[in-house]
Structure 1
Amino acid sequence: MKLKKLITAFTGVLLVATLLAACGSKKEADSSQKAKTDTIEVVGADGSKVKVPKNPSKVVVFDNGSLDTIQALGEGKSVVGVAKKNLPDYLKEFKNVDSIGGLKEPDLEKINALKPQLIVISARQQGFKADLEKIAPVLDLSMDNKKVWESTQSHILTLASIYGKEAEAKKQIETLKTNIDAVKKKAEGSGLKTLTLMTNEGQVAAFSEGSRYAIINDTFGFKSVDETIKASTHGQSVSYEYVLEKNPDVIFFIDRTKAVGGDSKEASLKDNELVKQTTASKNGKVVELNASIWYLSGGGLQSTQLMLDEVAQALK
């Protein structure tokens, strides 16, 4: 009888142990599955595949276009560090987060201390990518100037997928596309010949298709007065005599010193005597574009709309 009770007790203990082991295995499996679903693999502009946490709560962002997209998707609270020195006014909400150095000189020590789950960069920080990767996953969202609109949409959707906001992003992209199409139709039908310039401490550079400000021509539909301008990040150096010779109907210009500082003693391009002789000046169509947006931002849900609004002034 005692032997029977002993066997029964042992069997009970064995059953409990088996159930606990099964529960433990299930928890491990569930935990493993959760780990898989808590990360997502995305592709950067440089073609690199990056595994990042879904819905990250600590993100460091150097690229202002990405920063404005994150804000537009309602995920600004996840950003813990930005390059504050040259932050555009429309992103002033982020002036309260930690500074992570300059756009070209990241503060690696500060970034490491923030323990980010994701670092978003663009072309200006590519030289530091290897160092940043030692801290956290790095997502390069540099713009492709030869495919501006395609690049913009791709970057927006990449960020949206990280936050699980694909539906919201697609909705905002569709609205943006509708607005772009409306301006593009007017621009193409206007017959206006335009010239895009950037001034920097007295120097002047021209831009056209495939260059830094290609969105004006490639996406917004404005015809360039000079199709031979060489595509370049810093533009093709030109003179004021060149501007008068080309005599555009519209001049769009960006004053770089207003974005990054420098010698601001030079008179505005609008006040140059040769520029005043152009058709653009005579018709009041020398349009100064917001330097902090055009030079320091771009490729975002908000910045793209802001850019569109500014160039649309030439059609009034």
Structure 2
Amino acid sequence: MKKIFSGILVLTAALTLAACGNTGGDTAKSSETAASTATPTTAASSAAEATPTEVTVTDSDGDEVTVPFNPSKVVVFDNSALDTMDALGVGESVIGAATDSMPDYLEAYKNVESAGGIKEPDLEKINQLQPDLIIISGRQADYKKDLQAIAPTVFFSTNGEDTWGSIQTNVKTIAQIFGKEAEADAKIAELTTSIDEVKAAAEASGEKVLTVLVNEGSLSAYGLGSRFGIVHDTFGFAQADENIEASTHGQNVSYEYVLEKNPDVIFVVDRTKAIGGDASQNNVADNDLVKETNAGKNGKVIALDPQVWYLSGSGLESVQIMLDDVKKAVE
């Protein structure tokens, strides 16, 4: 009897231990399952937090504008913004632009819908396009409120006293909208290196520069603080005339004025070639008075790319083209 009773006790103990062991294994498996299930959920949550649905940026007017993040339908009137978008690889979002005033280097975008003229947006057409974002420049500033009624509208301009600084701000704003900050920083760094090289060469040369816009034979001169002030405040060229009126449209001058200032280098922007018109009187280098200047004598009357300098000029691609233009003066 004692042996039977002892056997029962041993069997009971064994069964109890087995049951405890199975319970512990099931618990461990349940914990592993819970852990593996929780990880993707946490990752998905983090991804959702990392990718916003919208972003708030500050435009050149100082206005805070909330826009969709990485918008898929954008109408662009600012050619500089368009070339920055192209350089950052987000040009496929462009659905409308001022196609009649598109520089040749952006000719791929001449096939998008025309959203109106460079100075007169077609509000009805833009409304039909139903864009997520509209980007404008100074030429369309008078229409900003009308465009805001259609879609979030961001205005870009450059600061004549710090051209390169304001260009970087605009590029970074566009990059923020499209989530391309790293790409923008890399391209800005490359351009900064090139700018520093040209600036050092320009300052070392000691040559004085006069930048003129020619339009059907008429001349306007531009200096610091003007639309072409980048020649001086960023690229480092000294001014042939430090008293040029800072103006978007430049200071009206004569060929006698050019001879009087006797610049070592003359940069010429041919407005007629950029937008059309009678260019028969626009060959500045052939003018007899210009030929008497240091620039004329030394073959340094340099034609700048008119479409880039007049129609864009402050995007990632156009700044590089402008650098290539002015480098001719110091090569």
Please give the TM-score of this superposition, normalised by the length of structure 2: 0.84
CA distance in 2, matches of 1:108, 1:125: 12
The 5 Å alignment of 1:1-316 reads 37-316=52-331
CA RMSD of aligned residues (A): 1.2
Give the aligned residue type for 2:156.
Answer: L
- How far residue 145 of structure 1 moved from its aligned partner, in angstroms, is 1.6
SS in 1 for 2:191: helix
**Are the aligned partners of 2:220 and 2:251 in contact in 1 as well (CA < 8 Å)?**
yes
CA distance in 1, matches of 2:270, 2:282: 11
**Are the aligned partners of 2:270 and 2:282 in contact in 1 as well (CA < 8 Å)?**
no
Q: Partner of 2:36 in structure 1?
A: none
SS in 1 for 2:296: helix
- How far residue 73 of structure 1 moved from its aligned partner, in angstroms, is 0.3
SS in 1 for 2:288: coil
- How far residue 204 of structure 1 moved from its aligned partner, in angstroms, is 0.6
CA distance in 2, matches of 1:119, 1:128: 11
**Are the aligned partners of 2:88 and 2:184 in contact in 1 as well (CA < 8 Å)?**
yes
SS in 2 for 1:195: strand
Q: Partner of 2:16 in structure 1?
A: none
Give the aligned residue type for 1:89.
Answer: D
- For residues 179-232 of structure 1, the C-alpha deviation after alignment (integer angstroms, 9 at most, x for no partner) is 000000000000111100001112111111111100000000000111011100
Give structure 1 regions of 4+ aligned residues with deviation exceeding 2 angstroms. 262-265
Q: Partner of 1:22 in structure 2?
A: none
CA distance in 2, matches of 1:48, 1:278: 46
Identity score, percent: 56
CA distance in 1, matches of 2:282, 2:173: 42
CA distance in 1, matches of 2:161, 2:129: 35
Unaligned runs of 5+ residues in structure 2 are 1-44
SS in 2 for 1:37: coil
Give the aligned residue type for 1:205.
Answer: S
Give the aligned residue type for 1:264.
Answer: A
SS in 1 for 2:280: coil
Unaligned runs of 5+ residues in structure 1 are 1-29
CA distance in 2, matches of 1:125, 1:142: 11
**Are the aligned partners of 1:61 and 1:81 in contact in 2 as well (CA < 8 Å)?**
yes
**Are the aligned partners of 1:122 and 1:143 in contact in 2 as well (CA < 8 Å)?**
no
SS in 1 for 2:154: strand
Please give the TM-score of this superposition, normalised by the length of structure 1: 0.88
Question: Based on CA coordinates, which of the two structures has the bigger radius of gyration?
Answer: 2
Quick one: structure 1 residues 277 and 56, their matched pair in 2 at CA, closer, same or farther if it must change by over 3 Å?
same
The number of aligned residues is: 284
- How far residue 267 of structure 1 moved from its aligned partner, in angstroms, is 4.0
CA distance in 2, matches of 1:267, 1:63: 27
